[in-house]
Amino acid sequence: MKRAEYKVPGGKLLVAETEVEEGFLTTVKVMGDFFMHPEEAINDLEEALNGKETAKIDEIVADFFGGKEITLFGVSEEDFAHVLKLTLES
Amino acid sequence: MTETWRLIDMRIEDAPTQMSIDEAIALARPKGETPNTVRLYRWDPSAVSIGYFQSVEKEVNLEACEEKGVDVIRRITGGGAVYHDYNGEITYSIVAPEKDPRIPRDILASYELICGAIVRGLEELGVDCEFKPVNDIVAGDKKISGNAQTRRHGVVLQHGTVLVDSDIRTMFQVLRVSDAKISDKLIQAVEERVTNVRRYLGREVLFEEARDALVKGFEETFDVVLEPGELTEREEGLVKELHEKYSSREWVYQR
């Protein structure tokens, strides 16, 4: 399990945990004190990333937020991609 | 004529019931059966509520909670962990349609407006404080209120904590601030970043006095009259249904 934390400047804390096998995400969990409406969309984001190549994190996160009516507060969609990629370096 | 909103006044309930009531009011509101509603309430037993996206294990010292009889619950709203001290804390909630002309569409602006009601209430008590983006109220540089909002079914639900006489030492025993390695010195520094009305004013503040001030803060901010009322039968039914979710391990420990 790889874990990373990212405090968005002037914003909220994002925590990500991932497991990677041969370049593919096998576990994805995003936590923190941020706001996302509707809240349940976090499960869909994790689901969208699960089983995908780590090289495609940016693309998948952008597609995910692009295709849905999701409101973020205290974090941006780029921050999600950022904290997920940070786990790969840990 | 001044509009009347419903006030559900200082109900004392356990954590699953309180969270069920807030969600039930938000669910019933779009049907138009109920007016805009403000609640003021206390938690019995004391409880830690964590944000929707937070990890229980990482935010809460579960052993300390068990030892002290403090309940643990996950909120429907994001944001951070809060210690709801039965003896020293008032929680508020407000439910209104997103399209209400008084509620800004912009989320930050709506936090500022609703938190403004709490600021007015606290000022009424003599606490000089201000809204601090993104979702806090501070007196001096110390946090005295934390707030969390969700929007669903065309409704805004915001709830938040007002620290009247919360036991700040216990707060940081039941909440995990950083990793387990945190030193006593650091704990002290963290405690210095939070205050409560009693500590700020240097005098005892009864719940009744704080309640009256908060009611006034809401009435003045929204130019409404808060009229004490009860939950409708439908809302009470929803509370019963939702209680099962909020008290389940699956809900509380999902992250």
Q: Quote the ipTM score.
A: 0.95
Whether A53 has a pLDDT exceeding 90, the answer reads yes
More confident residue, A61 or B189: A61
Q: Comparing B189 with B111, which gets the higher pLDDT?
A: B111
C-alpha B222/C-alpha B217 separation (Å) is: 9
Residue range A14-36: mean pLDDT, rounded: 96
Residue B31 and residue B237 in contact, taking contact as beta carbons nearer than 8 Å: no
Q: Does B228 touch chain A (CB under 8 A)?
A: no
Task: Tell me what pLDDT residue B189 has.
Answer: 75
Chain B interface includes A11 (CB < 8 A)? yes
- Say how many CB pairs under 8 Å bridge A and B: 58
* Mean pLDDT, all residues of chain B: 94
Mean predicted confidence (pLDDT) in B25-30? 94
Mean pLDDT of B40-48: 98
Tens of pLDDT, residue by residue over B63-84, are: 999 999 999 999 999 999 999 9
Position with higher pLDDT, A10 vs B8: B8
A29 vs B: CB within 8 A:
yes
| B105 in contact with chain A, both atoms CB, cutoff 8 A | no
| Residue indicated by tokens 């407000």 | B94
Provide mean pLDDT across the span B37-51.
Answer: 98
Output the pLDDT for position B213.
Answer: 98
Bridge partners (DSSP) listed for residue A7: A13
**What's the rounded mean pLDDT across residues B112-119?**
98
Contact state of B79 with A33 under an 8 Å Cβ cutoff:
yes
Q: Which token pair is B224?
A: 């409404």
Q: In this predicted structure, what is the pLDDT of residue B32? A: 84
CB distance A33 to A42 below 8 Å: no
CB-based burial, A34-58: b 16+ in 10 Å, e otherwise? bbbbbbebbeebbebbbeeebeebe
* The predicted structure's pLDDT at residue B181: 40
- At B186 the pLDDT is 64
Residue B11 scores a pLDDT above 80: yes
What is the pLDDT at residue B178?
58
Amino acid B180: pLDDT: 37
Name the residue with higher pLDDT: B179 or A74. A74
What pLDDT does residue A32 have? 96
A39/B55 CB distance under 8 A: no
Q: What pLDDT, on the 0 to 100 scale, is given for residue B217?
A: 98
Q: Report the alpha-carbon distance of residue A14 to residue A7 in Å, rounded.
A: 6
Average pLDDT over residues A20-45: 96
Residue B199 has pLDDT above 80, yes or no: yes
- The 3-state DSSP class for residue B47 equals strand
> How far B69 CA lies from chain A's nearest CA (Å)?
25
Summary mean pLDDT of chain A: 95
pLDDT at B33: 84
